[in-house]
């Protein structure tokens, strides 16, 4: 069961020693609140676990039309059902489905299937993974999600032949293959997505 947001706030409010801090929290806009929350979370984050130190990372298996791909779990801020209305963003790549309001800020929503394959793959429901790029929140639409998997660096293999799961132009956002399926490089993916969305504003 999800903890209601107000309970989170009350809990968090209790964590503040200073009453003045609590007042400032109440005055915050949604966007400021979540920004503050992110900062607090980053400050309170635990050091890397022994497994992470050993190069093991957790990935979320995403079921795409042409197979599975793995998205680094640390890059995902939230996973929500894709049942929301989107505003269309003009002059954007075809795989950008629009924008939505996410915790007080505007996030671009990308069909991960279309982005990776560069083929038209209409989205008919699934999940939205919210990831964060320094400039903008990005939502990745996927038809379904699977389990989380821990993958070590040494388990990744490089592609020896062109993959049917992603277009050659997307090879830079794939850090390797695990069990034959692409494991995405979150930083490269988000950088490329934001760069292409930005560039599309000035080019057809």
Partner 1 sequence: MTEEPEPLPFDHSKLSPRELEVLRAFLSTDEFATLPPDSEETAVLPAPQPVDPTLDLEDEMISVFAGEVEEDLSVLRGGLEQAERDEDANSPGFLTLRQVAHKIRGSAAMIGCDAMSAIAHRIELVVLQIMAGEIDVHTGLYGLGHAVGAMQVTLVGVVTQKREDLQPLLGLEQDFDTLGISLAEPDEEQTSLLYSRGDPRGRPGPAGSVSIDRQQFDQLIQHTERLIEQQTALEHARKQVEEAFQELQTAQARLRRIEAFFSSVFMSVANGASEHADESAKPSSSLVARILRDAAQRTGRAYQFQTTTPPFSLEDATRWDELEMDRFSETNLLAYALNEAIGDIATATAQLQRALAHLDTLMSQHISITHQVRAGFIQHFPQATRLAQGLLVRAWEQQALIPFSQVLRIDYQGQQDYAHFYTLNALLDFPTTPEAPTPSTSPAQPLIQPVLRVSMDTQPATQVGVQVDEVIGQVELLVKPPPAPLQRPGISGMAVDSAGNVLLVLDVPELIWHDQFRQEQARDTGAHDTPVRTKRIMPKILIVDDSVSIRRTLRQTLSQKEYMILEASDGREALEKIEEQSPDLLLLDLEMPRMNGYDVLNVLRTRSLLPDLKIVLLTSRTSKKHKQRAHELGAHKYLTKPCADNTLLETVAALLGR
Nearest to 76 by CA among 190, 196, 199: 190
- Does residue number 173 form part of the binding site for partner 1 (CB under 8 A)? no
Compute the chain's Rg from CA coordinates.
19
Q: Which CB, 18 or 154, lies closer to partner 1?
A: 18
Q: What is the DSSP letter of 84?
A: S
Task: State the minimum distance, in angstroms, from the CB of residue 99 to partner 1.
Answer: 5
- Does residue number 15 form part of the binding site for partner 1 (CB under 8 A)? no
Distance CA 155, CA 178 (A): 7
Beta strand 76-81 pairing with 105-111:
unpaired
Task: State the minimum distance, in angstroms, from the CB of residue 5 to partner 1.
Answer: 6
- Does residue number 100 form part of the binding site for partner 1 (CB under 8 A)? yes
Q: How many CB atoms lie within 10 A of CB 130?
A: 19
Residue span 30-69 as binding mask against partner 1, x where in contact by CB under 8 A, dash where not: x--x------------------------------------
Asked whether the beta carbons of 70 and 185 are under 8 A apart, the reply is no
Displacement of CA 202 from its chain's centroid (Å): 25
Task: State the minimum distance, in angstroms, from the CB of residue 56 to partner 1.
Answer: 32
Interacting residues with partner 1 (CB under 8 A): 4-6, 9, 23, 26-30, 33, 84-91, 98-101, 105-106, 108, 133, 135-137, 194-195, 197-198, 201-202, 204
């Amino acid at each position: 069961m999800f903890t209601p947001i107000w309970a989170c706030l009350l809990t968090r409010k209790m964590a503040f020693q200073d009453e003045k801090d609590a007042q400032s929290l109440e005055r915050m806009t949604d966007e400021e609140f979540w920004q503050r929350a992110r900062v607090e979370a980053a400050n309170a984050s635990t050091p890397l676990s022994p497994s992470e130190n050993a190069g093991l990372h957790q990935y979320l298996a995403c079921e795409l039309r042409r197979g599975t791909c793995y998205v680094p779990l640390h890059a995902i801020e939230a996973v929500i059902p894709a049942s929301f209305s989107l505003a269309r963003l003009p002059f954007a790549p075809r795989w950008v489905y629009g924008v939505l309001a996410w915790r007080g800020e505007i996030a671009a929503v990308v069909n991960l299937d279309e982005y990776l394959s560069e083929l038209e793959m209409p989205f008919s429901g699934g999940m939205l993974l919210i990831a964060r790029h320094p400039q903008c929140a990005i939502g990745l639409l996927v038809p379904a999600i699977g389990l989380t998997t821990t993958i070590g660096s040494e388990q990744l293999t490089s592609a020896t032949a062109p993959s049917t799961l992603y277009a050659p132009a997307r090879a830079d956002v794939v850090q390797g293959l695990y069990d034959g399926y692409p494991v995405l490089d979150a930083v490269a993916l988000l950088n490329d997505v934001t760069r292409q969305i930005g560039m599309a504003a000035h080019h057809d």
